[in-house]
Amino acid sequence: SQQGEEDPQALSIQEGENATMNCSYKTSINNLQWYRQNSGRGLVHLILIRSNEREKHSGRLRVTLDTSKKSSSLLITASRAADTASYFCATRTSGTYKYIFGTGTRLKVLA
Amino acid sequence: EPEVTQTPSHQVTQMGQEVILRCVPISNHLYFYWYRQILGQKVEFLVSFYNNEISEKSEIFDDQFSVERPDGSNFTLKIRSTKLEDSAMYFCASSERQGVILGGSGANVLTFGAGSRLTVL
């Protein structure tokens, strides 16, 4: 499998529910970031978690990182229709310059 | 808020033609990237650029591709002879710093442009 794979590939929930997306990666990383992409638009940075951190919060976002399992999760609480977008995790392998993006989770929040 | 701007927003070209995609990164950023996304698929790394040279490139970034920072503000991606499979959204990104260089924890945030859609016929 590829570096940075999110699951599920697609998620459909009702407004007000929580949305959880997962990301798995393969190599040792310095940090992991989550980005959001509205349809046909550029990616927007949401949150960054360093390899020595286990959990981080930002507003309605909560990110966890488990380096032993090489996985991360993004939780969006109390989702809104405006949260409808694709969400990508991005990792940078130690000693490299490039951020590798996962395959993305397409989230649809129904009003 | 500072932003990365890309032009054109959409370009249609014939197979075999040269294409130049332009980007104006955020002014105090030092690291520049090109990514591409084929419709509905993953965002793929093409190249990173620092200090007027390529710092890393992917297997996709073959001899048909080149990047340049001609005047200290623009950052361009050139595709010399386009192929049908080059049709994609091309995203430029920039970041302020790079932890590998500074010996830090490697935390830098990418700011993306809105993308240039390339259609090769």
Chain B residues within an 8 Å CB radius of A48: 107, 109
Provide the pLDDT confidence category of residue A36 given band limits of 50, 70 and 90.
very high
Provide the pLDDT confidence category of residue A47 given band limits of 50, 70 and 90.
very high
pLDDT(A65) > 80: yes
* Chain-chain contact of A41 with B56 (C-beta, under 8 angstroms): no
pLDDT(B34) > 70: yes
The Cα angle at residue B41 between residues B60 and B34, in degrees rounded to 5: 45
Q: Which of A7, A25, A63, A97 has the highest number of chain B CBs within 10 A, making it the mutation to test binding with B?
A: A97
* Chain-chain contact of A98 with B45 (C-beta, under 8 angstroms): yes
Average pLDDT estimate for B88-101: 79
* % of chain A exceeding 90 in pLDDT: 70
What pLDDT, on a 0 to 100 scale, did the predictor assign at position B107? 55
pLDDT(A106) > 50: yes
Chain A residues within an 8 Å CB radius of B1: none
What pLDDT, on a 0 to 100 scale, did the predictor assign at position A53? 94
SS (H, E, C) chain B: CCCCEEECCEEEECCCCCEEEEEECCCCCCEEEEEEECCCCCEEEEEEEECCEEEEECCCCCCCEEEECCCCCCEEEEECCCCHHHCEEEEEEEECCCHHHHCCCCCCCCEECCCEEEEEC
Q: B30 near B101, Cβ under 8 Å?
A: no
What pLDDT, on a 0 to 100 scale, did the predictor assign at position B103? 41
pLDDT(B83) > 90: yes
The number of beta carbons lying within 10 Å of the beta carbon of residue A11 is 18
